[in-house]
């Protein structure tokens, strides 16, 4: 074959492919336009049906934050946020294991949620005005009341954050912590230099190597990351809280039914603690006379139908298979865990905290 | 009316058929189809983006660039503080990227050429060392190298608190915060030194040009290196001291936790630069080796028989010819180095991806606009590099008569 005819053949092939590609795209676009609004894969208003069809909840979690969402050597996830994902799965499928986890960086988490890659984001995410209003997201509640704090080496002899003048501060990008730290130092007229890493693991490594004098992130995160330092006892978390960080699960805006389900899973976990229902004793309360408990376990009322769930004992199932807030807290971040966080603000409103859920009726 | 339409149709059909019959005409038709398909593709992509953004209640626009950024940046080449705008943060981050990329390109070229020539050395040990270097560093993923070098550089360095007493001032220090030095503050009269320096540089260029011309014409060699060094370094230095050192230094002073004042090149810069240079130089070394080996050995033999030494042969005969082979792939490596510098985010070097496509994106949520700007920057940097290298390539091209 001479060169010219080869070129001509190749050109023909090229045009063929180009036209084919264009045509296919056009067709798919038309099909999408006809078939509804699933432009980029994110479907608005059908999340529950989609979850039921695929048979599991796709849950966005962190890339490894002990106590909140952290995989072990075998790839099993555990933590406060993970337990929440398991509770959502239990409400829908009566099986806490029907969850798939997507470890997400702070940077991509919202885009993953918006694009429909995940169904719910439980990734120690702070509820802020901008995120709630401007980013097409909906925060359904708070599952951990946190605040940003500072960790320093004990041998620096620092007792208060106000002493931190001329410091080098390590943190990670893609979170609200950078801005909070900047606001704190500016407001107190203190000088600082911020060193912002992409991932928390690198922050820990750099802080451990002495790159920074101070490590700042949410106080729960500081407690978690301290366990990864080469000598955790040489470091301490300063008492001041420089920002409010209400962490909570997030869903896409535009699917009220799904938002309601996720919101009431969270409320159910808290209400269970109020009613003193635990995974151990809830079976014995199945036939309780207390109307509050009767509604909770599904003996009275039709809350499941209102939510679009199949099993009226959905809240019962959550407590039986996952536990109430107290149980979850104690086994993930509580005083007996390596994080050793006392309940503090996260105690029930009746016990000196601010944890509060609307009544189920 | 209908008759006319029929006529026009017939004419159209006829002209289309005749166009198809000629090769040139077919070419035009292909091009039109191709263009239409491409246009359609872009249209679909753009409309898809806008459709999805509208669905999510997002509005596009670059107005956010004028809003206050609020966050701090650890290394800024131009003035910046928390009350600066996102637009300013973009410039700061862009300059940090350009800084590491431009210095990286120069150092990687120097190291790469050295190693490439070493690989061809008749000395067994030298050639082996170069080969091991190349095979090691070009086969380990760059991100791992960056993280490795970061920790490897960071760990052994002391903290400022370990070396200095509180209140102590110092002129220069390399510690785990970076290279810290006293900020030079030019005083009155320093501009004269700069003038003398530029005269020295221009004079040196003229002198070496003259020396080269004279060698071509008459064959004798004039000294170039020492006179140029004297003009560029010696002369300004003499003027500087004659004027009574018109330069003040703002020395960094040790405070309670770390030093205050002075200027800092952050440690992350050195880790990133080192990793990029080591990695890219391994590839450049192979390109240089290929270029040199692409020149027939007869050229070297001819040079040896004229009495040139090995280094002279390389410098005067082999490399000038090899450059024609080396430059195009070398350009690719420069582009790679620039783009690879975006891995800086992993080790907190405040480059464009870390600051602008990281912090600014997170704070504003303007993913489309910010990614568009970031992509445009890398594209422009790459096109500029390509353009410059193509000009250089044209100069080195074999001129055939």
Mean pLDDT of chain A: 87
Which residues does chain B have within 8 Å of residue A166's beta carbon, measured at their own beta carbons?
A: 255-260
Whether B38 and B102 map to the same domain: the answer is no
Q: Output the CA angle A293-A299-A300, nearest 5 degrees.
A: 85
Of A39, A181, A210, the CB nearest to B55: A39
DSSP E strands in A262-319: the ranges are none
Q: Can you give the pLDDT at residue A273? A: 96
Q: Are residues B102 and B15 in the same domain?
A: no
Residue B401 pLDDT > 60: no
Cβ-based contacts of A183 with chain B (< 8 Å)? 70
Measured between beta carbons, the chain A residues lying within 8 angstroms of B154 are 206, 209-211
Q: What is the pTM of this model?
A: 0.76
State pLDDT tens for residues A197-223.
988 888 999 999 999 999 999 888 898
* Residues A206, B348: C-beta atoms closer than 8 Å: yes
The verdict on a CB contact (< 8 Å) between A173 and B37 is no
pLDDT of residue B191: 86
pLDDT, position A58: 96
Looking at beta carbons, which residues of chain A come within 8 Å of B263?
none
| List of chain A residues whose C-beta atoms are within 8 Å of the C-beta of residue B159 | 210
Q: Same structural domain for residues B32 and B105?
A: no
* Shortest Cα distance, chain B CAs vs residue A331, angstroms: 32
Q: What is the pLDDT of residues A12-28, one digit of tens each?
A: 666 566 556 556 655 55
Q: Do B70 and A26 touch (CB under 8 A)?
A: no
Average pLDDT over residues A118-147: 91
Q: Find how far residue A287's CA is from the centre of its chain.
A: 35
Q: Tens of pLDDT along B161-216?
A: 888 888 888 889 999 899 999 988 888 888 888 899 999 999 999 999 999 898 88
Distances (CA, A) of B345 to A123, A203, B80, B155: 21, 12, 19, 19
B365: which residues sit within 8 A by CB, 6+ positions away?
A110, A130, A131, A134, A135, B58
| Contact between residue A324 and residue A277 where contact means Cβ atoms under 8 Å apart | yes
Q: What is the pLDDT of residue B17?
A: 75
Q: Kindly report the CATH number assigned to the domain that includes residue B359.
A: 1.10.3720.10
B58 at A interface, C-beta within 8 A: yes
* d(CA A150, nearest CA chain B) in Å: 15
Q: Does B258 touch chain A (CB under 8 A)?
A: yes
In what helix (H) or strand (E) does residue B133 lie, and over which residues does it extend? helix B124-137
Asked whether the beta carbons of residue A210 and residue B71 sit closer than 8 angstroms, the reply is no
Q: B371 Cβ partners below 8 Å, 6+ apart?
A: B357, B361
* Residue B336 domain flag: yes
A47-143+248-351: which CATH architecture?
A: 3-Layer(aba) Sandwich (3.40)
Q: Which of A226-235, B166-175, B360-369, B391-400 has the lowest mean pLDDT?
A: B391-400
Q: Is B72 on the interface with A (CB under 8 A)?
A: yes
Structural domain count of chain B: 2
* Whether B24 and B139 share a structural domain: no
- Based on the fold, state whether residues B389 and B277 are members of the same structural domain: yes
B79 in a structural domain: no
Enter the tokens of residue B116.
């490439």
Q: What are all long-range contacts of B187-194, with beta carbons under 8 Å and residues at least 24 apart?
A: B187/B246, B187/B247, B187/B248, B188/B246, B189/B243, B189/B246, B190/B243, B190/B246, B190/B247, B192/B239, B192/B243, B193/B236, B193/B239, B193/B240, B193/B243, B193/B246, B194/B236
| A267 φ, ψ (degrees, to nearest 5) | -60, -40
ipTM summary value:
0.77
Residues B105 and B40 in one domain: no
A210·B154 Cβ contact <8 A: yes
**Least confident piece of the model among A135-144, A164-173, B184-193:** B184-193
Q: Give yes or no: residues B98 and B43 share one domain.
A: no
Tell me the CA end-to-end span of chain A in Å, nearest whole number: 82
B222 located within any domain: no
- B125-151, pLDDT tens digit by residue? 999 999 999 999 999 999 999 999 999
Based on the domain organization, do B298 and B363 belong to the same domain? yes
Residue A135 is predicted with a pLDDT of 80
Q: Nearest CB to B154: which of A164, A186, A209?
A: A209
Residue B137 sits in the same domain as residue B279: yes
Chain A CB contacts of B354 below 8 Å: 173, 196, 198
Same domain, B383 and B295: yes
CATH 3.40.190.10 domain locations along chain A: 47-143+248-351, 145-246
Q: List the single residue in A with minimal CA-CA distance to B266.
A: A195
* Residue B173 Cα to chain centre, angstroms: 27
Residue A44 pLDDT grade (very low, low, confident, very high; cuts 50, 70, 90): low
Residues B274 and B361 occupy one common structural domain:
yes
pLDDT of residue A3 exceeding 50, the answer is yes
Residue A341 contacts residue A328 (beta carbons within 8 Å):
no
CB of A261 closer than 8 Å to CB of A307: yes
C-alpha pair distances (Å), A132 with each of A137, A141, A201, A244, B53: 5, 11, 28, 15, 16
Q: CA of A163, closest CA in chain B: separation in Å? A: 10
Residue A241 has pLDDT above 70, yes or no: yes
Q: Identify the architecture of domain A145-246 in CATH.
A: 3-Layer(aba) Sandwich (3.40)
CA distances from A24 to A121, B36, B223 (A): 34, 14, 70
User: Could you say which of B33, B51, B69 is where a domain stops?
Assistant: B51
**Chain B environment of A19 (Cβ under 8 Å):** 33, 37
- Would an 8 Å CB–CB cutoff place B346 in contact with chain A? yes
Q: Are residues B297 and B348 in the same domain?
A: yes
- The residue segments making up the domain with residue B285 are 93-156+266-396
């Amino acid at each position: 074959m001479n060169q010219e005819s080869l070129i001509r053949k190749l050109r023909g092939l090229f045009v063929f492919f180009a036209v084919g590609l264009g045509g296919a795209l056009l067709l798919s676009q038309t099909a999408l336009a006809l078939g509804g609004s699933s432009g980029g894969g994110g479907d608005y208003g059908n999340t529950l049906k989609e979850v039921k069809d695929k048979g599991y909840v796709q849950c966005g979690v962190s890339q490894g934050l002990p106590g909140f969402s952290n995989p072990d050597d075998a790839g099993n996830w555990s933590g406060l946020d993970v337990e929440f994902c398991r509770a959502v799965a239990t409400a829908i499928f009566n099986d806490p294991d029907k969850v798939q986890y997507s470890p997400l960086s702070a940077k991509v988490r919202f885009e993953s949620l918006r694009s429909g890659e995940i169904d719910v984001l439980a990734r120690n995410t702070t509820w802020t005005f901008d995120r709630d209003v401007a980013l097409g997201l909906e925060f359904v509640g708070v599952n951990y009341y946190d605040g940003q704090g500072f960790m320093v080496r004990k041998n620096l002899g620092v007792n208060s954050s106000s002493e931190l003048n001329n410091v080098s501060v390590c943190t990670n990008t893609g979170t609200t912590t950078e801005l909070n730290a900047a606001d704190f130092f500016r407001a107190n007229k203190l000088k600082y230099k911020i060193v912002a890493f992409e991932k928390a693991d690198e922050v820990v490594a750099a802080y451990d190597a002495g790159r920074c004098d101070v490590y700042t992130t949410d106080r729960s995160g500081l407690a978690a990351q301290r366990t990864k330092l080469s000598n955790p006892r040489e470091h301490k978390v300063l008492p001041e809280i420089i920002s409010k960080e209400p962490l909570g699960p997030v869903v896409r805006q535009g699917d009220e039914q799904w938002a309601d389900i996720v919101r009431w899973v969270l409320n159910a976990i808290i209400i269970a603690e109020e009613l003193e229902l635990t995974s151990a004793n809830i079976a014995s309360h199945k036939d309780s006379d207390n109307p509050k408990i009767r509604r909770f376990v599904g003996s009275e009322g039709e809350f499941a139908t209102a939510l679009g769930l199949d099993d009226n004992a959905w809240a019962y199932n959550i407590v039986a298979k996952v536990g109430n807030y107290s149980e979850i807290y104690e086994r993930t971040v509580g005083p007996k865990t390596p994080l050793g966080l006392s309940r503090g603000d996260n105690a029930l409103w009746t016990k000196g905290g601010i944890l509060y859920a609307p009544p189920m009726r | 009316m209908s008759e006319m339409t029929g006529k026009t149709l017939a004419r159209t059909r006829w002209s289309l058929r005749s166009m198809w019959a000629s090769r040139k005409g077919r070419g035009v038709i292909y091009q039109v189809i191709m263009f239409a398909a491409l246009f359609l593709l872009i249209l679909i992509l753009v409309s898809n983006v806008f459709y999805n953004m509208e669905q999510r209640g997002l509005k596009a626009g670059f107005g956010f660039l004028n809003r206050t950024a609020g966050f701090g940046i650890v290394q800024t080449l131009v003035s910046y503080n928390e009350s600066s705008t996102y637009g300013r943060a973009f410039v700061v981050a862009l300059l940090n990227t350009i800084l590491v990329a431009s210095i990286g390109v120069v150092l990687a070229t120097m190291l790469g050429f050295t190693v490439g020539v070493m690989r061809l050395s008749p000395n067994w040990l030298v050639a082996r060392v170069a080969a091991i270097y190349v095979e090691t560093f070009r086969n380990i993923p760059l991100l791992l190298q960056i993280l490795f070098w970061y920790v490897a550089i960071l760990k052994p360095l002391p903290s400022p608190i370990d070396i200095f007493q509180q209140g102590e001032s110092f002129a220069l220090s390399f510690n785990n915060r970076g290279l810290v030095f006293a900020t030079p503050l030019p005083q009155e009269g320093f501009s004269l030194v700069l003038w003398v320096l530029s005269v020295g540089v221009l004079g040196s260029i003229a002198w070496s040009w003259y020396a080269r011309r004279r060698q071509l014409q008459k064959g004798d060699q004039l000294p170039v290196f020492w006179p140029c060094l004297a003009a560029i370094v010696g002369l300004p230095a003499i003027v500087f001291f004659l004027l009574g050192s018109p330069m003040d230094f703002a020395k960094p002073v040790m405070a309670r936790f770390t030093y205050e004042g002075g200027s800092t090149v952050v440690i992350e810069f050195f880790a990133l630069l080192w990793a990029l240079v080591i990695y890219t130089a391994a590839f450049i070394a192979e390109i240089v080796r290929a270029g040199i080996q692409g020149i027939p050995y007869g050229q070297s033999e001819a040079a040896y028989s004229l009495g040139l030494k090995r280094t002279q042969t390389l410098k005067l005969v082999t490399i000038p010819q090899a450059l024609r082979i080396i430059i195009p792939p070398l350009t690719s490596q420069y582009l790679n180095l620039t783009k690879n510098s975006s891995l800086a985010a992993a080790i907190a070097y405040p480059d464009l991806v870390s600051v602008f496509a990281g912090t600014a994106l997170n704070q504003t949520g303007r993913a489309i606009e910010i990614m568009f700007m970031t992509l445009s920057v890398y594209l422009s940097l790459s096109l500029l590099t390509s353009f410059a290298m193509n000009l250089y390539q044209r100069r080195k091209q074999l001129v055939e008569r």
